[in-house]
A and B are shown apart, each in its own frame.
Chain A
Amino acid sequence: MLAEKALELVRELERSIDGSLPPYNEDRVRQVLEEMRVLYEQNQKDVSATVAGESGLFSGVQVRHAALERNKRCLLAYLYNRIEQIKKMRWEFGSVLPTEVKYNLCEQEMQWFGRYNKLLANYMMSIGGSGGLDLTQDMKPPKTLYVEVRCLANHGEFETQDGNVIVLKKNSQHFLLRSECEHLIRQGILEHIVH
């Protein structure tokens, strides 16, 4: 059926588990573009035939044109929603993506990610005149100043604001300033212990 492949792309994204991004399906995108090219050429042929005097081709042209539009729409929706997901991950993981995520992005998406990073950084720097404000911090309303955390991975040394150096070793527990370790919790290096 016409435009089936394009719809399959959208479905693929829709079916992916929340918060994850399936690999960029370059093959299928190419297939869709190929289908569009064929449709277009056929339309060109029929249009020139109609101009030359043949009749009865018009409805075929219209169906193909609708299929072209649908393909375009599905393809753009696919790309746009991937971008939305990539943006979400920027807020979650910070400016450097984990390798397994990077692997699923195509070249241009990586470039876009870099561009978005820069945009965001520029904007956050310009807030309030001097120094800016890191909007990726303070994602949840603070309840307490300090939180108890457990290390899930070896992270090495970590210097706290007051100059103490602690070693974040796997399975060790610490009592840290929430504002300091928030991004480590989001990266999955620390786990917030709730009693």
Chain B
Amino acid sequence: MSTLEDLKDESGEEVETMTAAEVLRKLEEAWLNEKFAEDLLEAKTDLVECMMEQISEMEDNISRAKKGDFKVSIHRLEIDRIRYVLSSYLRSRLLKIEKFATHLLEEEKVRKDDEPSKLSPEEFTFAKDYDKSLESHLRNLALRHMPAHIQSLDPKQIAVRPNLDKYVFLRVNEDTEGVLVEEETLDTGEEIVDMKRGDQHIMRYRPVAPLVASGAVSLI
């Protein structure tokens, strides 16, 4: 039975450029961003898969260990913690997918081929089936009993959309200059902010959304 450090380094060889600790850090960052962002962020399928592999490997290592070894319980707790982060991350995504299913599918329809999809293939299947099941449920119970001319459901009208104007807390990871926070209106001029590494801000989500996606800022 190796110590925690050894265990992580050992399994780190599996990953090409990242160590296990780095993957975990990235996952935790993705988790927090996903938790605090209003809309769905890009799926980090690689991180999830990598972490799942790590977990099963660590479990293998533990099952080979002596019974009653003190280190075993520490490793187990570590696994539990990682699994919590992982599940919580996927859960908050799933929650958003259910809530915004119609909206996300619409976005997916107009997405160009070279743009990355926000949904992983599995999530896409889920969103599609979920949306379908919800619509057929509403149709079966209510819509088909209504007069013909109001039976239709306009996806544009009923879709629940994320509120991108919500305020978020964020920390800056990379110096970014000239972020346009407020467009110029009749009453006020435009507002531009230079962000320095380590700064913390509270601002609307919409202007910083691309920065969250690129990793220049993290939500906290």
Contact = CB atoms under 8 A, between A and B. Distances in A.
B122 A133 contact: no
Interface string B25-60: 000000000000000000000001101110010000
Contacts of B176: none
B87 to A, nearest CB: 5
Contacts of A109: 137
Interface stretch (B145-153, B184-192, B197-205, B209-217): B145-153
A135 B141 contact: no
Contact of B81 (A68, A112, A135, A142): A142
B73 interface: yes
A116 interface: yes
Interface string A113-139: 001100100110011111101110111
B193 to A, nearest CB: 34
Nearest to A32: B142
Contact of A138 (B73, B84, B126, B143): B84
Contacts of A103: none
A80 B138 contact: yes
Interface residues of A, number: 43
Interface string A149-180: 00000000000001000000000000000110
A69 B150 contact: yes
Interface in B118-171: 122-123, 125-126, 129-130, 133-134, 137-138, 140-143, 145-147, 150, 158
11 contacts: A68-B150, A112-B133, A122-B125, A123-B123, A123-B125, A123-B126, A126-B125, A127-B90, A140-B84, A142-B77, A142-B80
Interface of A: 29, 33, 36-37, 40, 68-69, 72, 75-76, 79-80, 83, 87, 106, 108-109, 112, 115-116, 119, 122-123, 126-131, 133-135, 137-142, 144-145, 162, 178-179
Interface of B: 48-49, 51-53, 56, 67, 73, 76-77, 80-81, 83-84, 86-88, 90-91, 94, 98, 122-123, 125-126, 129-130, 133-134, 137-138, 140-143, 145-147, 150, 158
